[in-house]
Structure 1
Amino acid sequence: MSMACQKCQQQLPLPAQSKLFRCHCGNLIPLGNSDRSLPVQEHGRFSSKMRRFRDKIRINSSRTNSLSHSPSTSPRLSLIFTKPPPSGKRALLCGVSYKNEKSRLRGTLHDVNGMRTLLVQKFSFSEESILILAEEAAYKSPTRRNILEAFKWLMTDLKSGDSLVFYFSGHGLRQPDFIEDELDGFDETICPLDFRTEGMILDNAINDILVKPLTPGVTLHAIIDSCHSGTTLDLPWVYNRDRKSWDDNRPPSRTNKGTSGGRAFGFSACRDNQLAADTSAFSPEKMMMGAMTYTFIKALSENANITYQELLDYMHNEIEKVNKARCPLLKVFQRKIDQEPVLSSSEKFDTNTKFKL
């Protein structure tokens, strides 16, 4: 097995039983048991500009490792989140625009505002029960540290009957997995605002912090609008829409990726090997939004008694409608929205069950 040096790009053999390797160019490469500092395979919420700085991305392995397997190592909650979260319903909404990056996204703030309105008007969430991280003066910044601390806010003092929501709109990446924790050989990630300097947040960490602590009677719905997001929560079961059945997503290592008795549901923008669109194609006002977020909100706004199956089908069908409606003369210039929303779960269930938060 080999890997590429991030500095000189030369292919290097992976030495056995070594945690640090020095390339001939002088670059030190950490080779720990997980989350190695390797080149990223592909890039997040679709933007051709993301490819231009692929080799500039540096994964901070030490910071990533500290949260890959144990939620107890998450940073101490800072003063900005010391107000106790309300019991019952609460939500964490993260929108990352990367304003100062070439890979800037223009729809994430609209995404967050749309999700907030949906939760308040359709699902009776109070304003006080919603914590928003975004690059606006009214909110705290969606840095890596703030997102991890907000995770802790969301998961504090869980009680039976609690309904939790985690929403993320931003870039998603993937990196090679070397601990046999992934069926496809890649770890999926979300990218905080400062991911180039502070590192990404891996699916292992998200599962450890948001999924495993869920106790009986507690439910989490995670909505992830980013590229490579199909299994961002590392949930054991992924719904196969074609066969109307559940695919086993448990890792080859047989590591437990389930809850502590609660339930976790994941709605993702696309499969792990796909890109997600930031587009105005769905909005009559030509407002930029994530394709998945727009169709998710629209489905729930129009259908009070929609089921999980109907919600997934609705998103698929709306994306297909937009693709079919593209002008034949402009298809060569218009990128097809090639993404398939994914439903995953901590346990198999009847998808004809009514969706509720």
Structure 2
Amino acid sequence: MLSETSTATVRATLPAVGAAVGDIADLFYRKLFDAHPELLSDLFNRGNQASGTQRQALAGSIAAFATHLVEHPDTRPDVMLSRIAHKHASLGVTAAQYKVVHTHLFAAIAEVLGDAVTPEVAAAWDEVYWLMANALVAIEERLYAQQGVVAGDVWRAWEVTGRTEETEDVVTFRIRPADGEPAPAFRPGQYVSVQVELPDGARQIRQYSLSSAPGSPLRSITVKKVRGGLSPDGEVSQYLHAHTHPGDRLRVSAPYGDLVLDDIDAPLFLASAGIGCTPMLSMLDHLASTGHRSPVTVVHGDRSPADHALRSEHALLTGRLPDAAAHFWYEKPGPDHATDRTGLVDLTDLTVPSGTRAYLCGPLPFMRTVRAQLLAKGLPAADIHYEVFGPDLWLAEA
């Protein structure tokens, strides 16, 4: 809880800080990487830095956290904190790194806001930062403990045992721990981080959803090639597509992620677009394996049937459930595809049973549209859960 004095100061300065938070984030990252270039090469996603999305996400999370402290002083934005903490845990972030961030973030705040940063203002925002940082550290320590790893030491060597070309741009890799020990347990919908050493020596990290069921003896990750041109947007996915084959080894983190399927006997709505289908396949596989009997509505949008990665698995797993239906929309459908499932996903003629829990994964415009349509059908916002591949710009714009 923010102290009474700091609450008044943060409330008074929030408009000014909010207006400048983008510039603060930009300067912060420049200062951070000038002092610690290894963080850019070996921890932060260079693609997100180049596009500016990471700066947007940082700015949005700080503004959202401070606003919540002021407007809801008796609660904490646990959903936001959990999402950030899971991503940090999958990267191996440690408590000591929050001190490094603090140093460069507050140097950026002082430089951008100048004389407006009085000792009182600095103290108030320092309190905001450490409330958020300490909350994240506490969650991350619990996440590390749950996986039985030392804080930050999340990596193991995994062997690639199989590779399947799903589409022109999508490959599934089947992997197992190289040491022969059991694979760590995970919950349907979670992801792992994969770290690869690129030709320039950088060890870049990306997250990929586990597309197999938790009970499977092997783990599967499905990787879509991001065509980033000369930018670093797709450097890891392109490297994996070009250089990773059975017998190779990968550095893979313990599984994390807060978009998880709860073991409840409620109607479910699983909506995805593009490569966002991967966590849904894990969920469907789990539901089929555990005998889920309540209604399940499966929705997916893609450019065409040929672009729909794991399309047959998507349909087959849905068909294994006793009360489930799959609805696939394609912008460029084949000749036999239903005309009312052509174009973008539209839930107008779908029935969403009372008590449904919804899970969304895909590009932000898709998830915004689906969420708005579910809300219009009476589904409570608290029952709509989502996963963002990359920085959470939905949060940044909230």
TM-score normalised per structure 1: 0.31
Q: Which has the larger helix fraction?
A: 2
Structure with larger Rg: 2
TM-score normalised per structure 2: 0.28
